[in-house]
Structure 1
Amino acid sequence: MCSERVLLNKAARGCRDSLRRVYETHKDHLLTLARGLCGDRSMAEDVVHDVFVAFARGLPELRVKTNLKSYLSVSVCNRVRDLARAEIRRRRDPGRVDPGPADMVAPDIRVADAELTGRLRAALEHVPLDQREVLLLRAQAGLSFEEIARHQGISSNTARGRYRYGINKLRSLLNSEWER
């Protein structure tokens, strides 16, 4: 099995098989992360597609300082954040037309097959985006608080605090849901 670095070097030189292997290795994780952030499978697929297109285009100049999974996970978070900002701008100025996926209507929560998964996704929607990002980067991407802090430009204590507040918010939302 080729190392990540070898795959990246081959992909940067135009090897489609190497790029496909990178995609196949990381797509499921990134789709799960994107779905957790935006709550919509179709939008999550668009986000992952956008991230991989940008990744493929930038490969010759790309310098990954962490592992590729972390890099791509942060790219997904950044893309979702960009879409959220574009949606806010669109709502403020309804006459404005933004190009591309940012023009999409805010996503509805799709009911998951498993009741618990559906409730968790619904609860995640009510967790502030900055806390949700930390929760998902920690749980889905396996990043340390220091890595999350570095990628978000915050202190590791702030990352820990956002994680703690996010967990508490989830607990509160899920407990109130169970009490009904």
Structure 2
Amino acid sequence: MKWEERLLVWRLNRGDATALSEVYERCRDDLLRLAGSMLHDGPAAEDIVQDVFVAFAGAARTFRLTGRLKGYLATCVANAARNRLKAAARRRTTDLDEAASLASPGEPPDRWMAISEQFERVSGAMAELPAEQREVITLHVYGDMTFRQIAEWQQASIKTVQSRYRYGLDKLRSALNDEVVR
């Protein structure tokens, strides 16, 4: 852990409100990008990040950090996003008004259906990937994060992150090609 982070955690433990603001400013954009790439829903991503920071603020005085601060918060956000996705998967009911609002009025229905089917195929294939591979692909493709940044977040080596990305893409390609052949 860098000395700046140690100082920041020390200030948090002392109840320094400016330290909490500093953490928020440093990490907010990356955490929003992470949550947004996992949820594909901006307002839900904002809710997740806010909930994590509220919980973090409540525990700031007793917080004991063993790793990197940003990595810790990223793990909290990723876990909260996964929990939200699991909860959504359990209740998979779609309101008709919500479904109607998803359709773009400028697109012909058959085009929208084709896009929807492609999205479902890719989402299904992504869901079958191991969590580490899915997370690396999501962060790199949707979150515009470099392998170095992802390695810091996952507390893994860059080579490990690159391997997870490559193996994940290979599995996606295989799953999607197999689906097309059927």
The answer for unaligned runs of 5 or more in structure 2 is 105-118, 178-182
Alignment partner, residue 33 of structure 2: 32
The answer for unaligned runs of 5 or more in structure 1 is 95-104, 112-121, 150-155, 176-180
> How far 1:34 moved relative to its partner?
0.8
Alignment partner, residue 142 of structure 1: 150
SS where residue 64 of structure 2 aligns? coil
Distance 1:41 1:145, change over 3 A: closer
Are 2:68 and 1:60 aligned? no
Are 2:154 and 1:133 aligned? no
Given that 1:134 and 1:148 are in contact with CA atoms closer than 8 Å, whether structure 2 keeps it comes out as no
Alignment partner, residue 45 of structure 2: 44
Deviations 1:120-177 (A, max 9, x none): xx6975522723223345773432697259xxxxxx97x776533433366689x9xx
TM-score, normalised with respect to structure 1: 0.61
1:55-94 pair list within 5 angstroms? 55-91=56-92
Q: In 2, Cα distance between the equivalents of 1:145 and 1:164?
A: 18
Given that 2:12 and 2:60 are in contact with CA atoms closer than 8 Å, whether structure 1 keeps it comes out as yes
| Alignment-mate amino acid for residue 155 of structure 2 | E
The Cα RMSD (Å) is 4.1
Given that 2:70 and 2:153 are in contact with CA atoms closer than 8 Å, whether structure 1 keeps it comes out as no
> How far 1:65 moved relative to its partner?
1.7
User: What percentage of residue pairs aligned between the two structures are identical?
Assistant: 38
TM-score, normalised with respect to structure 2: 0.61
Are 2:21 and 1:13 aligned? no
More off after superposition, 80-89 vs 29-38: 80-89
| Alignment-mate amino acid for residue 143 of structure 1 | A
SS where residue 142 of structure 1 aligns? helix
